[in-house]
Structure 1
Amino acid sequence: MPSLVFYTILFHLGNSTNLADSSKRTVISLIFVTTCLVPVLTVVMFRLTKVIKDLHMTNRKDRYLPFVFISLFYIVVSFMIRGQAWMTPAMNVAFLAITAVVVVTNGITFKWKISAHAAGVAGWLGFIIAFKSTFQATNTLFWPLLAAVTLTGLVSWARLYLHAHKPSEIVGGCLLGFIISYGSIILFL
């Protein structure tokens, strides 16, 4: 989801950056590696070393250690990229909000199996809706908005269909991701 958020900022918000398209793709690649590839490899490593029973982490307790590592990794990355010349205020606020969603979701996991998938997709939706009002004159957000609404519905349905979560866990994840993401842009930009 962070890659989609950065894609949205870089390619759908006019005047959001002065980077060339090739540099924008490099930024999105960096975000993908640090927020998707490394966490996936972390979970796979925990599975191969038998720290977790399965990659689906159906047992809430299997989520603890991988989620702590992923939270710490997001925090470290957010500090590492914060001062970079290519980071704009919108990107800074967005990445800090994404980190907050990850950390809060992972903290809640110790007591309740909230849906991290739902938090992620609804977070992207929250960013897009906030960007539409914050950058009214310079956005091309119709297609990303349509994609985010569709993806939020499909992911939520899939998590229910797979019996990975209860409806309350999906709704909780959606609300958490949306509120933090939307609120961060409205309050801090």
Structure 2
Amino acid sequence: MMERQDRYLPFAFISVFYILVTYLMSRQAWFNPTMAIIMISMTTVVISTNLITYFWKISAHAAGVAGWLGFILVFSLLYSKGNTLFWPLIAAVILTGLVIWSRLYLNAHRPSESLAGFVLGFLVCFSSVLLFV
């Protein structure tokens, strides 16, 4: 979707989907508070990306992979004893770099749009786990 206006309807459906899935999963007995924080932070990133899209074309791809990077980094910091998250952290860093590079290479985003998506995804996901878990 090269134009910002083309993203309105799909992003609205994605936002509703995330809200619905988060709500339905939170009603399950196996759904623990840590999982709730993760789902709520992912939903927050999706809704924020959707709202920002009405004014500016932020990179949802960068926000998604940066959120994953934020989760892995904060969990590796919180649970550093016996940490087995080293290789997933390396993979997340590489994947984040590749995704952002590909969005720039394909001229799908400007560097500022990719950087803003990265900052949004990383900060929301990293800080929500750090503050609430």
TM-score, with length taken from structure 2: 0.96
Match of 1:141 in 2: 85
How far does residue 137 in structure 1 lie from its aligned partner after superposition? 2.5
Match of 1:111 in 2: 55
Gaps spanning 5+ residues in structure 1: where? 1-56
Instruction: Give distance in 2, aligned partners of 1:140 and 1:93.
Output: 21
Amino acid at match of 1:121: V
Give the CA RMSD over aligned residues: 0.9
Does the Cα contact within 8 Å between 2:71 and 2:125 map onto a contact in 1? yes
Tell me if 1:132 matches 2:76. Answer: yes
Tell me if 1:87 matches 2:31. Answer: yes
How many positions carry a matched residue from both structures?
Answer: 133
How far does residue 139 in structure 1 lie from its aligned partner after superposition? 3.5
CA radius of gyration, larger in:
1
Instruction: Give distance in 1, aligned partners of 2:4 and 2:80.
Output: 41
Gaps spanning 5+ residues in structure 2: where? none
Instruction: Give distance in 1, aligned partners of 2:30 and 2:120.
Output: 28
TM-score, with length taken from structure 1: 0.68
Does the Cα contact within 8 Å between 2:76 and 2:86 map onto a contact in 1? no
Task: Give runs of ≥4 in structure 1 deviating > 3 Å.
Answer: none
Instruction: Give distance in 2, aligned partners of 1:134 and 1:89.
Output: 16
Sequence identity (%):
58
Tell me if 1:185 matches 2:126. Answer: no
